[in-house]
């Protein structure tokens, strides 16, 4: 995965646009890095809205570290 990321280059302007998009959607840029989001968008050949939708679909229903404890039965 790291090799794929290193081989994908995005321009500074694309990263700025991704950062602005994420901020406008009230998403933490500490969680979703603008550079990686721009790379994903470029790789998927989608605009930022469609990329976010695809990521949301891919992650929907999967347990994350932050909600694992709340999903455990006691």
What are 34-66's pLDDT values in tens digits? 999 999 999 999 999 999 999 888 888 665 555
Assigned domain for 21 exists: yes
pLDDT bucket at 4, cuts 50 / 70 / 90: low
What domain range includes position 32? 1-47
Q: Domain count of the chain?
A: 1
Is 71 part of a structural domain of the chain?
A: no
Domain presence at residue 65? no
Q: What share of the chain is helix, strand, coil (3-state, %, to 5)?
A: 65, 0, 35
Question: Could you tell me the pTM of the whole model?
Answer: 0.70
pLDDT of residue 67: 52
- With a pLDDT cut of 90, the percent of the chain lying above it is 59
In a domain, 19, yes or no: yes
Q: Is residue 72 part of a domain?
A: no
Are 41 and 18 spatial neighbours (Cβ–Cβ below 8 Å)? Answer: yes
């Amino acid at each position: 995965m790291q090799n794929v990321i290193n081989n994908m280059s995005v321009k500074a302007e694309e990263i700025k646009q991704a950062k602005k998009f994420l901020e406008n959607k009230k998403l933490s840029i500490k969680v979703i890095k603008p550079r990686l989001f721009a790379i994903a968008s470029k790789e998927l050949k989608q605009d930022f809205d469609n990329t976010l939708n695809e990521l949301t679909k891919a992650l929907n229903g999967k347990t994350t570290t932050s909600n694992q404890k709340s999903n455990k039965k006691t």
